[in-house]
């Protein structure tokens, strides 16, 4: 792939940058080696490179206008998320946890365009263990899948759209999709669309709140996951005691994190 063939996404790719950096570093190392013959050489300067601006921290996703979904699509995704993870005495629903916001931002980002995957043909039917092998990006799957779902409902549910169905009807339809008992028109099958949205809803529910879902770390509080803590030396020897530190997100927690 020549540089001109590279998909133009309008956003700098993290991988391209770090790859270039990696190559530059390697080249420097080679120069250093060749300049000094067989002996390793200490690069003049202050040792290992350090550039505090080199990290690309994740930006806090804020609820707001949809970046990928149309209003209608968003409504449907929220309705599905609400059935996949219904509100109960353990947690709020997938919709209220922000799963649709999470999916929306993912679809308008590199995930939606499969930017980091090899996406040139030939596309062949692979084995189930090989995962998705089609040329359809997640963005296309959602666009086509939601369209097919809505059409399917209007055709088979007496003209009603998916969002107008009762909770029980929605569950029945989703269950049928999961069991591959529903036939969608278009390139995306009902069963694969169900698998896709179930997976993404769970990701939104359990991923760090910085990405738009898991609002207020609701799922982490539910299951007792401590979040972005990674050192437990102070607790290792405290046997049979409850771990009391609250979970913390990449963006912080309400005791100190910047608001809004």
Partner 1 sequence: MTRNRLAIAAAALLVSAAVPAILAVPARADDQDFSLIERGRYVATAADCVACHSVPGGKPYAGGTALQTPFGTLVAPNITPDRETGIGNWTEEDLRSTLRDGIGRGGKRLYPAMPYPAYTRMTDDDIHALWAYLRTLPPVSNAVEANQLPFPFNIRLLMAGWNLLNFEPERFKPDPQKSAEWNRGAYLVQALGHCGTCHTPKTMLGADDTDRALQGANLQAWYAPSITSDSRQGIGGWTADQLVAYLKTGVNHQSLASGPMAEEIQNSSSKMTDADLNAIATYLLDRKPPERTAPTALAADDARMKTGGAVYTDSCMACHGGDGKGQTFLFPTLADSGVVQADDPTTLIRLVLDGSRAVATGARPTGPAMPPLGWRLNDADVAAVVTYIRNSWSNAAPPVGADEVAKVRKALAQAD
Least Å from the CB of residue 43 to partner 1: 8
Residues 6+ apart with CB under 8 A from 143: 73
Nearer to partner 1, 44 or 118 (CB): 44
Q: Which of 8, 39, 234, 242 binds partner 1 (CB under 8 A)?
A: 234
Among 47, 58, 86, residue whose Cα is nearest residue 201? 86
DSSP state of 57: P
Instruction: In whole angstroms, give the CA distance from residue 221 to residue 33.
Output: 52
Our finding on whether 12 is near partner 1 (CB under 8 A) is: no
Q: Two tokens at 245?
A: 């530190």
Q: Are 134 and 243 in contact (CB under 8 A)?
A: no
Q: Which of 10, 12, 37, 45 binds partner 1 (CB under 8 A)?
A: 45
Least Å from the CB of residue 35 to partner 1: 12
Token match 């190559």: residue?
Answer: 23
Label residue 216 exposed, middle or buried (CB < 10 Å: 0-12, 13-18, 19+): middle
Our finding on whether 224 is near partner 1 (CB under 8 A) is: no
Distance of CA 193 to the CA centre of its chain: 16
Our finding on whether 1 is near partner 1 (CB under 8 A) is: no
Q: Two tokens at 115?
A: 């930017």
Our finding on whether 168 is near partner 1 (CB under 8 A) is: no
Our finding on whether 230 is near partner 1 (CB under 8 A) is: yes
Least Å from the CB of residue 256 to partner 1: 5
How many Cα neighbours within 13 Å face the side chain of 117? 17
Q: Are 213 and 251 in contact (CB under 8 A)?
A: no
Nearer to partner 1, 38 or 48 (CB): 48
Nearer to partner 1, 8 or 233 (CB): 233
Q: Are 113 and 139 in contact (CB under 8 A)?
A: yes
Q: Are 210 and 58 in contact (CB under 8 A)?
A: yes
Q: Two tokens at 89?
A: 């005495």
Our finding on whether 231 is near partner 1 (CB under 8 A) is: yes
Site string for partner 1, 235-254 (x = CB under 8 A): ----------x--x-xxxx-
Least Å from the CB of residue 50 to partner 1: 4
From 53-61, 83-91, 154-162, 189-197, give the range in contact with partner 1 by CB under 8 A.
53-61
Token match 């005791």: residue?
Answer: 255
Termini Cα distance of the chain: 42
Nearer to partner 1, 63 or 246 (CB): 246
Our finding on whether 257 is near partner 1 (CB under 8 A) is: yes
Q: Which of 34, 46, 129, 244 binds partner 1 (CB under 8 A)?
A: 46
Nearer to partner 1, 49 or 167 (CB): 49
Our finding on whether 233 is near partner 1 (CB under 8 A) is: yes
Binding residues for partner 1, rule: CB under 8 A, are 43-48, 50, 52-53, 55, 57, 228-231, 233-234, 245, 248, 250-253, 255-258
């Amino acid at each position: 792939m020549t540089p001109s063939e590279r998909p133009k996404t309008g956003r700098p790719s993290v991988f391209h940058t770090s790859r270039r950096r990696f190559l530059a570093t390697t080249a420097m190392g080679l120069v250093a080696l060749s300049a000094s013959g067989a002996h390793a050489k200490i690069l003049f300067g202050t040792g290992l490179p350090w550039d505090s601006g080199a990290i690309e921290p994740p930006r806090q996703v804020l609820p707001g206008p949809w970046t990928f979904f149309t209003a209608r699509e968003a409504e449907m995704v929220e309705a599905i998320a609400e059935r996949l993870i219904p509100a109960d005495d353990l947690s709020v629903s997938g919709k209220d946890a922000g799963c649709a916001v999470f999916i929306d931002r993912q679809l308008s980002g590199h995930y939606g365009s499969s930017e980091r995957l090899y996406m040139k043909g030939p596309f062949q039917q692979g084995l189930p263990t090989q995962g998705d092998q089609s040329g359809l990006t997640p963005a296309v799957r959602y666009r086509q899948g939601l369209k097919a779902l809505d059409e399917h409902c209007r055709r088979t549910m007496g003209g009603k759209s998916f969002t107008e169905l009762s909770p029980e009807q929605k569950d029945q339809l989703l269950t049928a999709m999961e069991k591959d008992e529903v036939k969608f028109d278009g390139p995306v099958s009902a069963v694969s669309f169900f698998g896709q949205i179930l997976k993404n809803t769970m990701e939104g529910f359990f991923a760090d709140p910085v990405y738009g879902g898991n609002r207020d770390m609701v799922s982490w509080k539910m299951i007792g996951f401590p979040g972005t803590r990674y050192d437990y030396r102070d607790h290792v020897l405290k046997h049979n005691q409850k771990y009391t530190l609250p979970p913390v997100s990449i963006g912080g927690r309400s005791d100190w994190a910047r608001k809004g």
